[in-house]
Amino acid sequence: MRILIAVDRSEYSEIVIEHGLDQAVRLGATDLHFVTAVGSAGEIPAAKLVLDEAVRDWTDTFHVTDRSLTVHVVEGRPVPAVAALAAQLKPDLLVIGRFNVPSASELLVSLVECPVLVIGLEGHVLEAQCPACRETRTATEGEQLFCEAHASDYLPDLTTRIPSSSSSSGSRMW
């Protein structure tokens, strides 16, 4: 399995590398590629040094030093440069970051023909479960999902949304 991890050398790059290597460990990827884009050929040596150092530190942390590791520093605008490399490498997964709005990540996703994992700072914020709703579900063995405060006129409980069964067993599910 081949994973391509694209970074911009910002303060968020390590987050993207960390998630990419996490996927490599989980999925058993053996071919890992890291890419960053620079504006001119003169920037390539310094960028390669910085990226190579970050990659080596994180691969040691994730114990993936036994895998094929390739660092790419490409000249050009980031989105077309990463898309071109992805077209060439044909990775099984591309890992990118989206930390600003607007972000070029949406454009990159539309240009590549591989699965893309987009990493951001914030995930879904889940509200704490209402204790009364939990008690209602337990007391009704799941027949009613929400307490009176959270039940709506449209979905007071799940059983009203399930069509009745035509079987003789009387089951509402089958």
Peptide bond into 131 cis (omega under 30): no
Q: Is residue 32 a contact partner of residue 6, using CB atoms and an 8 Å limit?
A: no
Query: Do 75 and 110 have their domain in common?
Result: yes
Q: The CATH number of the domain where 99 resides is what?
A: 3.40.50.620
**Residues 94, 46 share a domain:** yes
- Count the domains in the chain: 2
What tokens does 37 get? 């884009």
Q: Report yes or no on 49 lying in a domain.
A: yes
CA atoms lying within 13 Å on the CB side of residue 12: 16
171 domain-assigned: no
Residue 141 sits in the same domain as residue 110: no
Q: Residue 100 falls within a domain, yes or no? A: yes
Same domain, 103 and 19: yes
Note whether 75 and 101 are same-domain residues: yes
Distances (CA, A) of 133 to 25, 130, 143, 146: 39, 5, 12, 5
User: What's the average model confidence in pLDDT over 44-72?
Assistant: 89
Q: What is the tens place of the pLDDT at every residue in 68-89?
A: 999 999 999 999 999 999 999 9
70 and 153 within one domain: no
Least confident of 7-21, 38-52, 107-121, 123-137: 123-137
What range defines the domain where residue 77 resides? Answer: 2-119
